[in-house]
Amino acid sequence: MTTTSTRRPFRWGLLLAWICLGLAIAISVLPFYWVLRTSLSTNGSLASNSANLLPADFNLGAFKRVFGLQSPEEALAEGGSGGSINFWGYLLNSFLFAGITTAGAVFFSSMAAYAFSRLRWKGRDKVFALFLGTVLVPPIFTALPNFLLIKNLGLLNTMAGLVLPYVFMTPFAIFFMRQFFLNMSREVEEAAMLDGAQHWRLFFQVVLPNAAAPLATLALLTFMGQWNEYFWPLLVGSDESSRVLTVGLGVFKSQSPQGAPDWSGLMAATLVSALPVLILFAVFGKKLVNSIGFNGTK
Amino acid sequence: MRKLSTTKKTLSALAIAAVAATALSACGGSSSGGDAATGEVNYWLWDANQLPAYQQCADDFHQANPDITIKITQTGWDDYWGKLTNGMAAGTAPDVFTDHLAKFPDFLKTKQLLPLDDAVSKDKVDLGQYQEGLADLWVGQDGKRYGLPKDWDTVSLFYNKDMLAKAGITEDQMSKLSWNPQDGGSYEKVIAHLTVDKNGKRGDEPGFDKNNVATYGLGLPGSDAENAGQTQWSYLSATTGWTTTDKNPWGTHYNYDDQRVQDTISWWAGLIQKGYMPKLETTVGANMADNFGAGKAAINAAGDWMISQYKGYKGIELGIAPTPQGPSGKNASMFNGLADSIWAGTKKKDASVKWVEYLATAKCQDVVASKAVVFPAIKTSTDKAAAAFKAKGIDVSPFTQHVKDRTTFLVPITDNGAKVAGIMKPAVDAVLSGKAPASSLTAANDQVNALFAK
């Protein structure tokens, strides 16, 4: 009797917490469920079953369309576009695009960050401020000059043209790594210096190994951002050999003026294309949150 | 959805800027054409429904001309024009593409199209075989021809047969509607009666709750002003004797300051006030056809290219009725046509010309007709398409009747198409959402005409 009465107020609070938590989970998971539900539905039945939580006329046709397993006639009959989608090719391009830019940006940005945090040179902080200032320039401003540059270089519709604007550095990455390097204790480096290590060696053998956690975080963030990048690949990678998944998914959008998109195909493709990022996040998510918290750049 | 559309807009804007920047260099290379008619010709189209038909045409063409291969790329309407202008700027545009009348003047201005006159006279293409007026649409202000007609479209009313029956309206009544801009005639009466609120009260019954409507009498996709009201209000305004421009094609003066069009749009916007049509803001990110499929609208005015989509909704008995008769005593529909054009920057000029000419023959257009998706431009092929639709159980006579009775008027073709759309869309949006009276279109019209004053 006495034990329960002392416990009861505590339990109410716990119950409330669980309800809130459950609600929050439901709100964040429901959209994903809705994507899944729509992808398993038949287009023609979606409109009349909009309030139904279960798939409308269960059908795997949408996934077949995504993987290019349906003939144009079959696809059209199910409300698809009949347009070809070279899913595995686009997937490979997406991996290459996101992978190359991530590897490049992380590597070069940490070198730059090292220079901004460890080397002493005249005007260093001013140059850094200038670099940081470029964060303020909306990417859309540079889209047209970049496009013309890539065009004049003859790199349109090539992977090189796709990755060039991203591969060397992003201001955010430099800022992120510099903050981390500034917080790293210098003692180990000084010890290494006394042993005769030069900057190259310091960077590769002392600084980088110690920065594994923030490097992983930065790589993950960059990869996710690049994976979802749409506008630049749309401008530059328009032919089969350089089209990435985000652009390729356009085949599921509205095909005629005032027409409706191929909803189930679009949702199936969205689900499939989101999977790699979801998996990455599931594996590394905790590390990422920890590292950002540790770094203080929330 | 919204994010995508802003990206789309920025993309088109960028692409246009890029086209302008490189137009000169692009057309400089075109004059050096005159190659052998061999190789791969890139062909673009947007309507996925027509892809199987044109693939068949391409295969037949390749059989007859083994030296030429046609590579078809289909891109949805939403991305098609941005990609095309982008391709023109980048020098990667397709050799041949499906062209639209609303976009064609801008391409002429930036010199992106190849004139076809020499080829047409040399190969004796019979321009009389197409539905009347279609071939003339593709002649520029310079008197040169930049496209050969492939298909045409008109507008009709799609309706839900079950809803009509429940409302006690016969299909015969539905096919003989009349309209005027003052009280809306029998058209408005039918729309009102087909509107049902959440309590089951109809729009013309006392106690109708216009703020809680379950089924709207008439669907709405948006103000449609960017297309000169093609499917939404031009079929009404044209019956008042009003024309969009002083002459067509290549008018230089717009008439949105005219009382007749303002009355029409004012009546149309009034349907929203009365609760018979969805509010403009609810159309953003929504799809009118899908709403029809969900039973949220009883009538939708739409073009014939939408037939297969409307037919595809499960559980809906689809009926098609002619647009209502107006003050002129006749009904009306905008007559729009598509054509195949050749990009001026093509490196496969002769092969492209061959392909465009083949697309414009009865041979290919009969193939398109047999698939029952659109109406081909050649008269005999149009009839075959109507028969193919009939075999699918769809009576398309409301669409073809417009052409037979000559109740069509041509889509307005002028310079500055994109700029006119940029001015008129927000102006008509404002009227539809009740923020401005229809008389405010006069000010927008002045802005539009100022574009031509230079």
Q: Where are the domains of chain B?
A: 2-151+338-396, 155-335+414-452
Amino acid at B427: A
Distance from CA of A39 to the nearest CA of B (A): 16
Give yes or no for A42 touching B (CB within 8 A).
Answer: yes
ipTM of the complex: 0.70
Q: Which of B74, B68, B90, B64 is nearest to B11 (CA)?
A: B90
Cβ contact, residue pair A250, B76, below 8 Å: yes
Per-residue pLDDT band for A291 (boundaries 50, 70, 90) equals low
Interface of B with A in 153-212 (CB under 8 A): none
Q: Among B46, B86, B302, whose Cβ lies nearest the Cβ of A258?
A: B302
- Ramachandran category for residue B191: left, alpha or beta (phi over 0 → left; psi -120 to 50 → alpha): alpha
pLDDT confidence of residue B113: 96
Q: Residues 6 or more apart from A228 whose CB is under 8 A from it?
A: A246, A277
Is pLDDT above 50 for A58?
yes
CB B79 within 8 A of CB B8: yes
pLDDT confidence of residue B187: 97
Q: Where are the domains of chain A?
A: 95-242
pLDDT confidence of residue B143: 93
Is pLDDT above 50 for A270?
yes
pLDDT confidence of residue B90: 82
What is the arithmetic mean of pLDDT over A271-291?
A: 81
CA distance linking residue B235 with residue B258, whole number of Å = 16
Share above pLDDT 70 across residues of chain A, in percent, rounded to a whole number: 91
Taking all residues of chain A, what is their mean pLDDT, rounded to a whole number? Answer: 85
DSSP state at residue B321: E
Per-residue pLDDT band for A42 (boundaries 50, 70, 90) equals confident
CB B276 within 8 A of CB B218: yes
CA distance linking residue B112 with residue B26, whole number of Å = 8
pLDDT confidence of residue B7: 46
Give yes or no for A50 touching B (CB within 8 A).
Answer: yes
Q: Among B51, B221, B289, whose Cβ lies nearest the Cβ of A82?
A: B51
Give yes or no for A83 touching B (CB within 8 A).
Answer: yes
Query: Choosing among A147, A156, A252, A255, which should be mutated to test the B contact, i.e. which has the most B CBs within 10 A?
Result: A255
Provide the CATH number for the domain formed by A95-242 in this structure.
1.10.3720.10
Average the pLDDT over each of A2-16, A98-112, A264-278 and give the range with the smallest value.
A2-16
Give yes or no for A144 touching B (CB within 8 A).
Answer: yes
Distance from CA of B14 to the nearest CA of A (A): 7
pLDDT confidence of residue B30: 38
Choose between A134 and A259: higher pLDDT.
A134
The token pair at A255 is: 């095909």
Cβ contact, residue pair A256, B47, below 8 Å: yes
Tokens 């020098």 sit at which residue? B91
How does pLDDT run along chain B (454 residues), one tens digit per residue? 334 444 444 555 555 555 444 443 433 333 334 456 788 999 999 988 888 899 999 999 999 999 999 999 888 887 889 889 988 988 889 999 999 988 899 999 999 999 999 999 999 999 999 998 889 889 999 999 999 999 999 999 999 999 999 999 999 999 999 999 999 999 999 999 999 999 999 999 999 999 999 999 999 999 999 899 999 999 999 999 999 999 988 999 999 999 999 999 999 999 999 999 999 999 887 889 989 999 999 999 999 999 988 998 888 999 999 999 999 999 999 999 899 999 999 999 999 999 999 999 999 999 999 999 899 999 999 999 999 999 999 999 999 999 999 999 999 999 998 899 999 999 999 999 999 999 999 999 999 999 998 6
Q: Among A44, A82, A230, whose Cβ lies nearest the Cβ of B48?
A: A82
CA distance linking residue B145 with residue B118, whole number of Å = 9
Query: Which parts of B91-194 fold into alpha helices (H)?
Result: 104-109, 117-122, 161-166, 171-174, 185-194
What angle do the packed helices B77-90 and B2-28 form, to 10 degrees? Answer: 30
What is the arithmetic mean of pLDDT over A237-246?
A: 85
Q: Which of B131, B176, B128 is nearest to B153 (CA)?
A: B131
pLDDT confidence of residue B285: 78
pLDDT confidence of residue B21: 46
Provide the CATH number for the domain formed by B2-151+338-396 in this structure.
3.40.190.10
Per-residue pLDDT band for A40 (boundaries 50, 70, 90) equals very high
Interface of B with A in 294-323 (CB under 8 A): 294-295, 302-303, 305-306, 308-309, 312-316
Instruction: Nearest chain A residue to B288 by CA: give it.
Output: A258
pLDDT confidence of residue A295: 53
Provide the CATH number for the domain formed by B155-335+414-452 in this structure.
3.40.190.10
What is the arithmetic mean of pLDDT over A156-176?
A: 89
Cβ contact, residue pair A45, B314, below 8 Å: yes
Q: Which residues on chain A are in Cβ contact (under 8 Å) with B87?
A: 238
CA distance linking residue B154 with residue B133, whole number of Å = 14
Q: Residues 6 or more apart from B356 whose CB is under 8 A from it?
A: B96, B116, B148, B340, B341, B342
* Angle at the Cα of B383 from the Cα atoms of B382 and B389, rounded to 5 degrees: 90
pLDDT confidence of residue B133: 86
Instruction: Nearest chain A residue to B10 by CA: give it.
Output: A140
Q: Does the fold of domain B155-335+414-452 match that of domain B2-151+338-396?
A: yes
Cβ contact, residue pair A259, B315, below 8 Å: no
